[in-house]
């Protein structure tokens, strides 16, 4: 099967075409600055590469650009876009309604629209991409894969805040956790790589990118995720603050005479390692370069980041009453061997030993713990698009077999 994977944002739309049998990426690309000045990037497996300005006034024009290029006699990878068996859409928030992937119907769109309040920046943008694809490919199966779905196995003790219960009943204020598509892919790949039965292992996945989250996956099910009602909770991130005492925010609002929106902008965009490093950078590569030049704030930002990750790992080992695998993934987790080493130094009490040479290795999946380490420590490249393609293909297969 050929799967078109779509990740639609407010002014951008990422796409890939994946062959579900070989799992080969036939083409990947990006429509950027939709509704502004339009930029199109496109790269095929056989070396065709495009990077050019293209007018895309809306998401429908962006999807049209993608489809036209996919079937172009010179640049394309398909004879006809009817060759696309299914479109897999990345959808950010499924609330409590969606605990797995779904075939997108009018009812699903209605249910998703009802979740818009929970993710006002992301869900409407996702739905615009869905609407554009449905309009241009009315006969193609559309599947929605939610970033929250894998986390829906969390129990009330993990997902409820210490707030009056009525607010959960009335508004569904609770912890949802995010990056579920990545946590699912990486936890399963770790078990496969270690030749373990995923239903028998306890894994902690550290998805450390610009946005960062940690999950505890016990016997294939998420029991906790460090992000909460929104992706703001948990770790100190690139620009997000992570866990903060709300009392400090009231204090700050009063002192600086700020409203809740100004406070939220600070928490989402001006905090994290960017804020701690006094606006030096949210990028860990730049912080490392500055640290080498004895920039104290850069050093402090990285130190705080690593300390917080280690604390979450410790608490998740307790939550699962043990841990077999710890996996690092995403931009920082996959590439920053110094941060990995620093985090693991806190974890010697778990019997963790890191092989310094292997820790400098690169690869799709590598083990960086020694043979005698009591816990396997791995680095695995996340692949959310492949996970979406797998989910979409599995649903399409199911439908086919029912129709037979
Ligand atoms: P997101 O998807 O949340 O935007 P990514 O997973 O792509 O984030 O991670 C992006 C971050 O990864 C960058 O901001 C940068 O800090 C970090 N990163 C990428 N490459 C390296 C590297 N070689 N060393 C350290 N950090 C890196």
**Ligand 1 centre and the CA of 77: distance in Å?**
30
Nearest to 178 by CA among 162, 203, 161, 154: 154
> Which residue's alpha carbon is nearest to atom 15 within ligand 1?
283
3-state secondary structure (DSSP) of residue 287: helix
How far apart, in whole angstroms, are the C-alpha atoms of residue 57 and residue 11? 10
3-state secondary structure (DSSP) of residue 268: helix
109 within 8 A of 126, measured Cβ to Cβ: no
Question: CB count, 10 Å around CB of 371?
Answer: 7
**Ligand 1 centre and the CA of 211: distance in Å?**
9
Query: Percent of the chain at pLDDT above 90?
Result: 95
Q: How many helices (H) and strands (E) does the chain have?
A: 15, 14
Instruction: Please report the pLDDT score of residue 402 as a whole number.
Output: 86
Instruction: Please report the pLDDT score of residue 19 as a whole number.
Output: 97
User: Parallel, antiparallel, or unpaired for β 325-329 and 212-218?
Assistant: unpaired
Instruction: Round the average pLDDT of the chain to a whole number and report it.
Output: 96
CB under 8 Å, gap of 24 or more: what pairs does 362-367 form? 365/189, 365/190, 365/193, 367/193, 367/194
The yes-or-no verdict on residue 121 having pLDDT over 90 is no
**CA distances to 64, 98, 164, 192, 367 from 198, in Å:** 40, 22, 36, 8, 17
With a Cβ cut-off of 6 Å, ligand 1 is lined by: 209-211, 238, 283-285, 330-332, 335-336
pLDDT, one tens digit per residue, over 202-242 is 999 999 999 999 999 999 999 999 999 999 999 999 999 99
> Which residue's alpha carbon is nearest to atom 20 within ligand 1?
331
**Ligand 1 centre and the CA of 299: distance in Å?**
17
Nearest to 339 by CA among 209, 215, 226, 228: 209
Catalytic: which of 68, 85, 139, 147? 147
Instruction: Please report the pLDDT score of residue 122 as a whole number.
Output: 87
215 within 8 A of 183, measured Cβ to Cβ: yes
Atom of ligand 1 at shortest distance to CA of 286? 16
3-state secondary structure (DSSP) of residue 32: strand
Task: Kindly give the interhelix angle for 123-136 and 59-70, rounded to the nearest 10 degrees.
Answer: 50
pLDDT, one tens digit per residue, over 296-353 is 999 999 999 999 999 999 999 999 999 999 999 999 999 999 999 999 999 999 999 9
- Segment 177-183 shows an average pLDDT of 97
- Segment 56-67 shows an average pLDDT of 95
Q: Is 147 considered catalytic here?
A: yes
Residue found by looking up tokens 């943008």 in the block? 125
Q: What angle do CA 209, 212, 218 make, to 5 degrees?
A: 115
Instruction: Please report the pLDDT score of residue 83 as a whole number.
Output: 95
3-state secondary structure (DSSP) of residue 118: helix
Alpha helices (H) along 179-237: 180-193
**Ligand 1 centre and the CA of 301: distance in Å?**
15
> To test the ligand 1 pocket, which listed residue (207, 210, 240, 274) has its Cβ within 8 A of the most ligand atoms?
210
Q: Which residue has the higher pLDDT, 116 or 144?
A: 144
> Which residue's alpha carbon is nearest to atom 14 within ligand 1?
283
**Ligand 1 centre and the CA of 331: distance in Å?**
3
How far apart, in whole angstroms, are the C-alpha atoms of residue 59 and residue 135? 11
Instruction: Please report the pLDDT score of residue 223 as a whole number.
Output: 98
């Amino acid at each position: 099967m050929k799967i078109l994977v779509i990740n639609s944002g407010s002014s951008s739309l990422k796409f890939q075409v994946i062959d579900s049998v070989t799992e080969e990426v036939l083409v990947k690309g990006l429509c950027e600055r939709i509704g502004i000045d339009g930029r199109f990037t496109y790269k095929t497996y056989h070396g065709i590469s495009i990077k050019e300005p293209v007018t895309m006034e809306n998401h429908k024009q962006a999807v049209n650009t993608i489809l036209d290029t996919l079937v172009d006699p010179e640049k394309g990878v398909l004879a006809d876009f009817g060759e696309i068996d299914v479109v897999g859409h990345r959808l950010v928030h499924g609330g409590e309604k969606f605990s797995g992937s779904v075939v997108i119907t009018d009812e699903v769109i209605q249910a998703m629209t009802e979740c818009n309040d929970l993710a006002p920046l992301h869900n409407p943008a996702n739905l615009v991409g869905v609407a554009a694809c449905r309009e241009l490919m009315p006969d193609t199966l559309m599947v929605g894969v939610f970033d929250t779905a894998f986390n829906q196995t969390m129990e009330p003790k993990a997902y409820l805040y210490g707030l009056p219960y009525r607010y959960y009943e009335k508004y569904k204020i609770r912890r949802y956790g995010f990056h579920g598509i990545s946590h699912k892919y990486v936890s399963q790949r770790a078990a496969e790589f270690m030749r373990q039965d995923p239903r028998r292992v306890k894994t902690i996945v550290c998805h450390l990118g610009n946005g960062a989250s940690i999950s505890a996956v016990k016997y294939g099910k998420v029991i906790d995720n460090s992000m909460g009602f929104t992706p703001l909770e948990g770790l100190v991130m690139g620009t997000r603050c992570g866990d903060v005492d709300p009392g400090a925010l009231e204090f700050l609002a009063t002192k600086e005479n700020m409203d809740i929106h100004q406070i939220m902008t600070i928490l989402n965009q001006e905090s994290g390692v960017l804020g701690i490093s006094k606006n030096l950078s949210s990028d860990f590569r730049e912080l490392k370069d500055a640290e080498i030049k004895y920039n104290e704030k850069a050093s402090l930002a990285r130190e705080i980041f690593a300390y917080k990750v280690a604390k979450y790992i410790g608490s998740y080992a307790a939550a699962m009453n043990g841990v077999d695998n710890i996996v690092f993934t995403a931009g920082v987790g996959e590439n920053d061997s110094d941060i990995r080493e620093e985090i693991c130094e806190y974890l010697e009490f778990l019997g963790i030993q890191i092989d310094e040479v292997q820790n400098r290795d690169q690869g799709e999946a590598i083990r960086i713990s020694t043979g005698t380490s009591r816990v396997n420590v791995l680095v695995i490249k996340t692949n959310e698009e492949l996970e979406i393609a797998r989910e979409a293909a599995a649903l399409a297969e199911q439908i086919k077999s029912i129709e037979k």
